[in-house]
């Protein structure tokens, strides 16, 4: 199965996928394309080092949402992508992209235990700040199917992470990445590759 990884920044989750593939933990899939929403994202360097084709498709380059949607779909189609993984991707995908041929074929990792601290506006450090503000003792990460509702799709995998006294959003983010996100995402990608039918014969 050909996998596209969608990124916007440093690409730590992309690296987790690349490392898992190198260790033989993605036997049913292959990272075939990395798409960044920003030029200069460090994730693009990670892709280059791993020999993975990459493209930059920024929303601001397109006059309409429909044009942007089409550019993404065209890139996936050209690379014969079967599964899409959102790995810290900060552009919202519309129903034009999440429906149709790719319905049920796009997954995302979110840094909380959905349904807590999720939905529009909850991304990056904001999620961890919200967990600390609320005073919860356990947080974690969730990999879910992407649909037109932000963080609204079916949950695939979750892993809990303890919140410790004195945690800051930054320390909590690091622990959630290391203990949950980087483990769940490759596992979920492999699971999806095992269960999906190829999109392109």
pLDDT in tens, the chain (201 residues): 999 999 999 999 999 999 999 999 999 999 999 999 999 999 999 999 999 999 999 999 999 999 999 999 999 999 999 999 999 898 888 999 999 999 999 999 999 999 999 988 898 899 999 999 999 999 999 999 999 888 899 999 999 999 999 999 999 999 999 999 999 999 999 999 999 999 987
Domain limits, the chain: 2-195
pTM, to two decimals: 0.95
Q: What is the DSSP string of 121-147?
A: T--THHHHHHHHHHT-SEEEEEEEE--
| Alpha carbon distance, N-terminus to C-terminus of the chain | 11
Catalytic machinery residues = 110
- Give the C-alpha separation, 25 to 28, whole Å: 9
Predicted local confidence at residue 192, as pLDDT = 98
Phi, psi at 112, each rounded to 5°: -155, 175
pLDDT tens per residue across span 145-170: 999 888 899 999 999 999 999 999 99
* Token pair recorded at residue 4: 């596209």
Q: What's the fold here for domain 2-195?
A: Rossmann fold (3.40.50)
- Burial annotation 30-59 (CB, 10 A radius, 16+ → b, else e): ebbbbbbbbeebbbbebbeebebebbebeb
Q: Is the peptide bond prior to 26 cis by the omega test (within 30 degrees of 0)?
A: no
């Amino acid at each position: 199965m050909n996998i596209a990884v969608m990124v916007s920044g440093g690409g730590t989750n992309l690296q987790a996928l690349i490392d898992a593939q190198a260790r033989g933990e993605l036997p049913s899939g292959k990272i075939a394309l990395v798409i960044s929403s920003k030029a200069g994202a460090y994730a693009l360097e990670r892709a280059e080092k791993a020999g993975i084709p990459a493209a930059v498709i920024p929303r601001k380059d397109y006059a309409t949402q429909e044009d942007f949607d089409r550019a993404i779909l065209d890139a996936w189609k050209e690379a014969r992508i079967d599964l899409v993984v959102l790995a810290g991707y900060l552009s919202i995908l519309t129903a034009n992209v999440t429906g149709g041929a790719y319905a049920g074929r796009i997954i995302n990792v979110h840094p909380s235990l959905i349904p807590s601290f999720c939905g529009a506006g909850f991304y990056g450090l904001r999620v961890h700040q919200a967990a600390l503000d609320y005073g919860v003792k356990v947080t974690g990460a969730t990999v879910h199917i992407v649909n037109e509702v932000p963080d609204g799709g079916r949950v695939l995998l979750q892993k809990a992470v303890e919140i410790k006294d004195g945690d800051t959003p930054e320390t909590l983010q690091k622990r959630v990445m290391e203990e949950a996100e980087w483990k769940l995402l490759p596992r979920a990608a492999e699971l999806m590759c095992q269960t999906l039918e190829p999109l392109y014969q």
